[in-house]
Amino acid sequence: MASNKVISLALIINLLIRVLRHMASLTKNLILAFLCVLFGFVCFSNAQLSSNYYGSSCPNLKTIVGDAMKEAVNREARLGASVVRLFFHDCFVNGCDASILLDDTSSFTGEKNANPSMNSLRGFEVIDTIKTQVEAACPNVVSCADILALAAQEGVASLGGPSWAVQLGRRDARTASLSSANAQIPMPTSTLSTLISMFSAKGLNAAEMTALSGSHTIGQARCASFRNRVNNDTNIDSGFAATLRATCPASGGDGNLAPLDIQTPSQFDNKYYQNLEARRGLLQSDQELFNGGSQDSLVKSYSSDGEAFKRDYASAMVKMGNISPLTGNNGEIRRNCRAIN
C-alpha cells in the first residue's frame, strides 16, 4: 500500500514538473512576443511558414513562378538580379510583406522612391505578370510577398545559382513606409561597420551579410551609385577605375550602367569575391568587405570555394526571408500587388 502511494506521488510530481515546464515555455514565448511588439525587435517566425504551404490550395505555384522567371531572365538576364534586389529591399523594411511593391496613395507614400531605391528598382512588371498568372490558376490564395520570395529564388537559380526551399505562408502589408526604407536599407557608400550594424538590426550576422552581398555577382549599377568610388577612392585597382571613368565621369551620366561583377555579370558564381580581392568591387559598400577588416578572411574563403559561398548564400536567403512575416489574420492577400484591396 505504501509502495502504491509512493508511486502515485512520484507520478503526480512528474506531471507537475511537466506542466510547469510547459508554462515556462509559454511564458517565455509570450514575453518574447511582447518584446517584439513593444521594442520593435526583429522576430523570425517559421511557425506558420512552410515550403509546402500551398501544396493543396495552389499545387502548381512553383511551376508557374519558375516558368515566368525563366522567360523573363531569358529575355533579359538582368531581371534575375532586379527581382532579387526587390526581395532584399522588401524584407529590410518592416519584414517580407510585399510593401516594396505598393504604389503611392493618398494615405501613404510608398517605398519605391526611397533614397537607396530611387531610379534603380526594377522588375515590378515581372511580379505583375506572375501575379496575373497565379490569380488565374488560384484566385485570392497566394500573397504577393510569397510570389516575390519564390521569384527571387528562381531568378538566382536561372542564372546558375543555388536553389533552396522557400518558406511560404506570408501575407501582404496594407501600407508602406518611405521613412523606414530610407533608414533601414544600406546605401552603396555604407562602411563595413554600418553594414554590420544594419544587418544585425535584422537578425543577420556579419558572415550572413557577407554571403548575401554575393547577390552582387549578378546585375548592374547606375553611375550615380559608384561615381565617387571610381573618381576618388584609393582602394581600387587603377586600371579598373580608369575603365569605369569612361562610363561614369566626374559629372553627368547618372544613369549609365556598369556590371557589379566585371568578370561574369550574368552568371551567379563566386567571381564577385575574386573581384574584391583584386580591389575591383564596383560599389564602395562592396569593397568594404575586403579592406583590412573583419570580413577579409571570409571573402578569401568564398573567392576560392564557390560551393561554400552558394551553400551559405542559400541559408542566409532563407533566414532573410523569415524576417517578421505577416501570418494568420494579419495583412491580406492582395489581388493586385501594386495596391491594397
Residues involved in catalysis: 89
Contact assessment for residue 271 and residue 280, using Cβ atoms and an 8 Å cutoff = no
Q: Distance (Å, rounded) from C-alpha 98 to C-alpha 78?
A: 21
Q: Which amino acid is at 144?
A: C
Q: Which amino acid is at 249?
A: P
Buried b / exposed e across 249-273, counting CB within 10 Å, b at 16+? eeeeeeebebbbbbebbbebbbbbb
Q: What is the Cα Rg of the chain in Å? A: 23
338: number of CA atoms within 13 Å, CB side? 12
Contact assessment for residue 300 and residue 210, using Cβ atoms and an 8 Å cutoff = no
Q: Tell me the three state secondary structure of residue 147.
A: helix
**Cβ-count burial of 19 within 10 angstroms (0-12 exposed, 13-18 middle, 19+ buried)?**
exposed
Q: Which three cell numbers stand for residue 326?
A: 505577416
What element of type H or E holds 222? strand 220-222
Distances (CA, A) of 279 to 186, 283, 285: 21, 11, 12
